Amino acid sequence: MGPRRVGKTTLLLKFARTATRPVIYVNADIPEASLPTWADTMWREAKEKAAPGVVVLLIDEI
C-alpha cells in the first residue's frame, strides 16, 4: 500500500486548526469570489486581523 494522499483543502483546514498564529481561511470557489472587490475585501480583513501582529491568509481554490 502506497502513501496516503490528502487533498489541498484538507491540508489547509488542518493547518488552520493547528496554527499558532491567527488564520483566515477563504474559499475562492464561491460565486462572490468573482466580484471585483472580493480579493480586496479578503486582504483588508486579513490586515485588520493582523493589526497587532501576524495573520495567515489561506486562499483555497484560487
| Residue 44 domain-assigned (yes or no) | yes
In our burial notation (b when 16+ CB lie closer than 10 A, e otherwise), range 24-57 reads: bbbeeeeeeeeeeeeeeebeeebeebeeeeebbb
> Residue 52 falls within a domain, yes or no?
yes
Domain holding 47, by residue range, is: 21-60
Q: Flag whether 28 is in a domain.
A: yes
**Inside any domain, residue 37:** yes
**Residue 29: per-residue pLDDT:** 92
Q: Tell me if 54 is assigned to some domain.
A: yes
Q: What is the pLDDT of residue 5?
A: 74
Per-residue pLDDT of the chain (62 residues; tens, 9 = 90+): 667 777 899 999 999 999 988 888 989 999 999 999 999 998 898 888 887 788 888 999 88
